[in-house]
Structure 1
């Protein structure tokens, strides 16, 4: 009788003999082989049997004849040259039709979830026991049918390997409701979106070229199911799809039949549902047998294109050929958080204006785009120089290009569902020529780092009544610390916390002499700092910007983040007494939140009602 595959206990695994330091791969393989042969009756795999696993790096393996739920099962256990640092693989020697059991892959390999890496790699027998125990659990549950729901919770893992059509990229909103959507066929594949405008904008942003002028998009249909399908429910024919629609009720079936009654090249149908871990979408295409090249019927012969009666077209579709497709989701809800970002609805409708696209402004802009901010306007009159590239998110390929325009192009290409617009000008000219940009913003982020320009922006905000809150962000010398403050209708204005020459009244670090360095050119000065320092400051500032957009931080919130003390010391700096007091004498690599208070005698706002 075949031995039963026992589940190992943690105690038994821990008690397994540890491998002696310096043991060779052959020593490990010999030990595993002896244990398997003694305890399970396993035999080494022959070369022909092992060949099946060679492409996955298998070095050696064993065949185990075991009993699972009183059924004889042949299992192969194989290891590669990294074992015991790598996990052994277990596979069914004779794989059943796919998909038959949850966590059994198409080639018969078992996807064992147990994290055997928690076991000590010096105990190869313990690792083998843990993996075999996981295999036993998977097969017992699968044969007993007690884990069928896992086919639904991991729907795409089982549907995708059965697809026989090209991938479809989906921009549709992953939410309930059977509805028509738009479809574009291209050499790169099929793309679906809620409407033509969304599809055109995404393609234009991603590839620099939208839909051809006047081009008509086809229709596709999204069927939103009550739950993900089990493998036995995967459609093989158009009639199977109609059965799925019928389960949703007469309106859904009527909608599907009306769609299949449209005389078009093919009929693409998305199948969406809510799984345990979020929405999932698959797709099928119905091809008429005439177009597919089999059983050539008259079909719609005798009717002009698009003029065939709906009933005739529907009948042809119902007897068509079905292809399955994997769907690659490219919608914002998947890209920005894999359906787990509860803030995205608000961020998608937010508009931010970035004034300054340099070493601090550019990473802030990218972080906001990555977070899902829907619209970003980028304002900067300067061009990229080669020396900028070492601490800017743009590289040498944008040399001599407008920082604002090049950054906008990069963000739109990387996040094509959002809008980024470059304005290669100063904010003063923008305020005159495009008054709506600043007035319609939910937040303005200024990283200019020039007191003359930011003092002017501060005065403008005071005079216009602060149509949008401004986040001012700057770095101290050597990027020893970074500051970010929200200036709005209440609390202090920017000038309230600065000297008459624009120097912050509160600083984290101090230096014995000026830190500005000069190029070998007239009037060209710069602050020396590296990417790690400025990136940390950008992250802090972007976080405050997001907090404001999400109503988590109001006017007057002021954050300061410091660098590491050894780095400050290397450039001759030290912490100020104010910073030591604010951090309770823990000044290194920390952040403090303060309030930017109104100064009653501030020359900029003393006559304003604040």
Structure 2
């Protein structure tokens, strides 16, 4: 038998072409490293580049084992980190060249691109203005490196995790801190630090989101807004208590702002170890943890720069974008009737879109068979759907006010609702009795506020969202047959051996697709209360209906495509479909 031939892999072929080039024509400018780290690199080369400011520098070019899926790496002296931009703690140069499909055919091309990027970078590092502008442009990234290096060089421990609930401020403003320490025989270290502004209490916030673990130490924060035009880079960042005080004084106009604040907290008898100064520029928070000496004024307080993750709704839900819309949504209160396979994901989508308050009504308990298409899982079996969903959303979505109400829709609306309580009623029960009840209680209990009915046809073959505005009423005889696109000739409900128990077969992908369709329309209504009464429908193809194996007569609205994955979305005028005001 012929000997087996080992073929070079695509990675090996690409690296071989580059090696041939650099060891040949490229040998005039680079020299092969004799003993590279073979576990990570195919090969490495070095070159010495002169620089008028920092002197001659040795630069290393390396090909990783998965080159060209990963681009070539350039490493400089690690001490250039925070002296030059785009240099990481390891010395790796972030050149920004991304792999392309053609790199397998011409792998030399991406190496040339990286070397050209290095050449441009090298020339720019002679310009102080360019260096400052680059640091300012990506200040948060460099701040994270600054924090890590500062703590490493000074041997100081920062909190392992940090959170800050930020609100826009105009001047120096006090906040609160909650720190959590786990008991240890070794040097204690803060596991979690939470800082807040305004009415938000940090310990309550930490418990709400399950961040609190360990012994609580309360403290205080001082939020200091910096001008957007203020220089903010490694050479501007305070490294001592004195320079931090000077920076805060440049904002407040008072050199004693920080010392007086610390002294005031000491007089109040508060723990001095939980003091935090938070500098804010362009809504990005930069923290300094202050440690006051045991004997006051014996030595200067120590500072530790720390990174802070914002967790307030403006950032967590919108990344500070389109805040006018978000703030409007956070003032909205929505009643959701039905927390099943449609209502539960719809409620979650509304919460994550920024709706400020949700009341969830459902009498049913979660069963094991619900897990296949419900946002709740096996850990919630036996719990009330409304309560369990409310707990999930409260834990997951910052700033959300949510209440689970174990009740029937009829009992809650007739017994608890008053005009003005809600901005919108969302009915996801899919029940004719609920739609008819809402039509009768529309004025007396709901004050004529918009009502949205959302339901799915059997097999999730279509989903419908019906907005009933102030100028219209849903007919009490419940004409869903005028809205639906399928006339089902047989009973599609699968019966279970229990009184009145059964279900329609479909999966989470079907239900959640319907929920996404419905959520977009509900949000559009909440964003524009003048939206006229409308019927929106998501309709699957004729091919899908044919694949079901049941007798069904379809509406002309059903698209004729034979592909069961095709679908359309249509909008219909309320009066045109139902023929009523």
TM-score band, normalised by the shorter chain? 0.7 to 0.9
In the TM superposition, 1:55-94 aligns within 5 A as 57-67=40-50, 72-92=56-76, 94=77
1:549 and 2:526 matched: yes
Counterpart among 222, 246, 250 of residue 249 in structure 2:
246
Q: Distance in 1 between matches of 2:15 and 2:336?
A: 60
Instruction: Tell me the alpha carbon deviations over residues 145-188 of structure 1, each in whole angstroms, 9 at most, x when there is no partner.
Output: 32421212211111112223224210122555321111111133
Distance 1:249 1:398, change over 3 A: closer
3-state SS of 2:364 partner: coil
Question: Alpha carbons of 1:239 and 1:597: their partners in 2 closer, same or farther (altered >3 Å)?
Answer: same
Provide the secondary structure at the position in 2 that maps to 1:148: helix
| 1:397 corresponding residue in structure 2 | 379
| In 1: Cα distance, 2:46 partner to 2:279 partner | 41
- Counterpart of 1:480? 461
1:186 is aligned to 2:180:
yes
SS at match of 1:239: helix
TM-fit CA distance, 1:482: 0.6
* 1:600 shift after superposition: 9.7
Deviations 1:45-89 (A, max 9, x none): 243xx45x96xx334321123356796432111122211122121
Q: Which residue of 2 aligns with 1:45?
A: 33
Is the 8 Å Cα contact of residues 420 and 446 (structure 2) preserved in structure 1? no
> Structure 1 residues 86, 240: closer, same or farther in 2, change over 3 A?
same
Moved more, 146-155 or 536-545: 146-155
**How do residues 554-593 of structure 1 correspond to structure 2 at under 5 angstroms?**
554-572=531-549, 576-580=554-558, 588-593=566-571
Would you say the 8 A contact 2:176–2:201 is kept in 1? no
Q: Deviations over 1:90-137 (max 9, x none)?
A: 111x22343111111111101122333364332211111112222222
Equivalent residue number for residue 530 of structure 1: 507
**2:119 counterpart residue number:** 136
The secondary structure found in structure 2 opposite 1:207 is coil
Q: What is the rounded CA distance, in whole Å, between the counterparts of 2:307 and 2:532 in structure 1?
A: 47
**Structure 2: how far apart are the matches of 1:581 and 1:493?**
29
C-alpha distance in structure 1 between counterparts of 2:135 and 2:359, whole Å: 45
- Does the CA-based 8 Å contact 2:144-2:307 persist in structure 1? yes
The verdict on how the C-alpha distance between 1:28 and 1:69 changes in structure 2, with shifts beyond 3 A counting, is farther
- Tell me what 2:14 maps to: 28
Specify every segment of 5 or more residues in structure 1 that has no aligned partner in the other structure, as ranges.
1-20, 292-297, 300-314, 603-609
Shift, 1:283, TM fit: 0.4
Question: Which residue in the other structure is 1:265 paired with?
Answer: 272
The corresponding residue for 1:224 is 225
Residue equivalent to 2:572: 594
Superposition RMSD on alpha carbons, in Å?
A: 3.1
Flag structure 2 segments of 5+ consecutive residues without an equivalent. 1-6, 152-157, 182-190
In structure 2, which of residues 81, 85, 94 is the aligned counterpart of residue 111 of structure 1? 94
Q: Is the 8 A contact 2:248 2:258 kept in 1?
A: yes
1:374 equivalent in alignment to 2:356: yes
* Deviation, structure 1 residue 563: 2.6
| 8 Å CA contact 2:276, 2:287 repeated in 1 | yes
CA displacement at 1:197 relative to structure 2: 4.0
1:351-379 deviations in Å (ceiling 9; x for gaps): 21111000000000111111122211111
**Structure 1 residues 113 and 598: alpha-carbon distance in aligned structure 2, compared to 1, 3 A threshold:** same
TM-score calculated relative to the size of structure 1: 0.81
1:326-337 to structure 2, matched below 5 A, reads: 326-337=307-318
